[in-house]
Amino acid sequence: MSIPINIKELLSGKIVESSRMEFKEGWNPPAIMRTICAFANDFNDEGSGYIIVGVKEVDGEPVRPVEGFNPTHLERIEKAMVGYSNLMQPSYYPRLSLEEIDGTHVLVIWVPAGSNRPYKIPDDVLANHKTMNYRIRFQSSTIIPNEEQQTELIQLTAKIPFDDRVNTNASITDLSKSMMREHLEEINSKLYAESDNMTVAELAELMNLSQGSNEHLFPKNIGLLLFSKRTQEYFKGAVIDLVEFPNGLTQPFTEKTFEGPIQKQLTDVLAYINTNIIKTKVIKHKDREKADRFINYPYDTIEEALANAVYHRNYELADPIEVRILPTAIEIISYNGVDPSIKQSEFNRGRVRARRYRNRRIGEFLKELKLTEGRGTGIPTIVNALKENGSPSPTFDINEPERTHFIVEIPIHPAFNEVAISNVEERSTDQDADQDKNAPSDIVIEEINKLAQIVEEQKGSSSDQDNDQDKSKFLIESKSLLELISKLYELEIPDEKLIAKYNESSLSLTNEQLKILKFTNSPKSNKEIQENSLGLKPHTDNFKNHIEPLLEKGFIGRTIPNKPTSKLQKYFTTERGRVVIYIREKLL
pLDDT tens series, the chain, 588 aa: 678 888 998 898 878 888 889 999 999 999 999 999 999 999 988 888 999 999 999 988 899 999 999 999 999 999 999 999 999 999 999 999 999 999 999 999 999 998 888 999 999 999 999 999 999 998 889 999 999 999 999 988 767 889 999 999 999 999 999 999 999 998 989 999 999 999 999 999 999 999 988 778 999 999 999 999 999 999 999 999 999 998 888 888 899 999 999 999 999 999 999 989 998 877 776 666 667 778 899 999 999 999 999 998 999 999 999 999 999 999 999 988 776 667 776 676 666 666 567 888 998 899 888 888 656 677 888 888 898 888 998 998 888 788 888 999 999 998 886 432 333 333 333 333 334 444 555 555 555 565 556 555 554 554 444 544 554 454 444 445 555 555 554 544 445 555 555 566 667 788 899 899 989 887 888 989 999 999 888 888 889 999 998 998 888 988 877 777 776 788 888 877 877 776 666 555
Cross-strand pairs, 143 = 136
Determine the Cα–Cα distance for residues 356 and 43; give it in Å rounded to an integer: 8
Q: What DSSP designation does 558 have?
A: E
Q: For the chain, what are the domain ranges?
A: 7-159, 172-234, 253-417, 442-587
Q: Is the torsion defined by CA of 450, 455, 458, 460 positive or negative?
A: negative
Beta strands 556-558 and 571-573 are antiparallel
Q: CB–CB of 96/77 below 8 Å? A: yes
Q: CB–CB of 221/162 below 8 Å? A: yes
214: buried, middle or exposed (CB in 10 Å: 19+, 13-18, 0-12)? exposed
17: buried, middle or exposed (CB in 10 Å: 19+, 13-18, 0-12)? middle
Look up the CATH number of domain 253-417. 3.30.565.60
Helices 360-368 and 262-276 cross at an angle (nearest 10°) of: 50
- pLDDT value of residue 184: 93
Peptide bond into 118 cis (omega under 30): yes
Nearest of 57, 113, 124 to residue 87 by alpha carbon = 124
Helices 299-312 and 378-389 cross at an angle (nearest 10°) of: 160
Three-state DSSP class for residue 89? strand
Q: CB–CB of 10/66 below 8 Å? A: no
Q: How many CB atoms are located within 10 Å of the residue 189 CB?
A: 22
Determine the Cα–Cα distance for residues 314 and 336; give it in Å rounded to an integer: 6
Q: How many CB atoms are located within 10 Å of the residue 376 CB?
A: 12
- Same CATH topology for 7-159 and 442-587: the answer is no
What are the CA-CA distances from residue 49 to residues 20, 125, 175, 190, 349 (Å)? Answer: 5, 20, 25, 19, 30
Determine the Cα–Cα distance for residues 278 and 336; give it in Å rounded to an integer: 28
Beta strands 254-258 and 280-283 are unpaired
Residue 395 φ then ψ, to 5°: -120, 130
- For 529, what's the count of Cα atoms within 13 Å in the CB-facing half-sphere? 31
Determine the Cα–Cα distance for residues 569 and 525; give it in Å rounded to an integer: 6
DSSP letter for each residue of 414-453: GGGG-TTS--TTSPP----TTS-TTS--HHHHHHHHHHHH
Beta strands 49-53 and 395-397 are unpaired
In angstroms, how far is CA 254 from the centroid of its own chain? 25
What are the CA-CA distances from residue 1 to residues 94, 105, 408 (Å)? Answer: 12, 14, 42
Cross-strand pairs, 210 = 219
CATH class of segment(s) 442-587: mainly alpha
What distance separates the 2 farthest-apart alpha carbons in the chain?
A: 107
Residue 82 φ then ψ, to 5°: -60, -45
What are the CA-CA distances from residue 371 to residues 31, 70, 241, 267, 368 (Å)? Answer: 34, 35, 19, 9, 8
Q: Could you tell me if residue 103 is left (phi over 0), alpha (psi between -120 and 50 degrees) or otherwise beta?
A: left
Determine the Cα–Cα distance for residues 445 and 514; give it in Å rounded to an integer: 19
Q: Tell which CATH architecture fits domain 7-159.
A: 2-Layer Sandwich (3.30)
Determine the Cα–Cα distance for residues 587 and 582; give it in Å rounded to an integer: 7
* 209-262: pLDDT as tens digits: 999 887 789 999 999 999 999 999 999 999 999 999 988 888 888 999 999 999
- For 236, what's the count of Cα atoms within 13 Å in the CB-facing half-sphere? 3
Nearest of 281, 286, 289 to residue 415 by alpha carbon = 281
Three-state DSSP class for residue 52? strand
Determine the Cα–Cα distance for residues 571 and 275; give it in Å rounded to an integer: 10
Cross-strand pairs, 324 = 243, 331
Q: CB–CB of 84/34 below 8 Å? A: no
Q: CB pairs under 8 A, 24+ apart, for 344-351?
A: 344/396, 344/398, 344/400, 347/379, 347/396, 347/398, 348/396, 350/379, 350/380, 350/383, 351/376, 351/379, 351/380
Three-state DSSP class for residue 322? strand
Determine the Cα–Cα distance for residues 58 and 189; give it in Å rounded to an integer: 26
Q: CB–CB of 230/215 below 8 Å? A: no
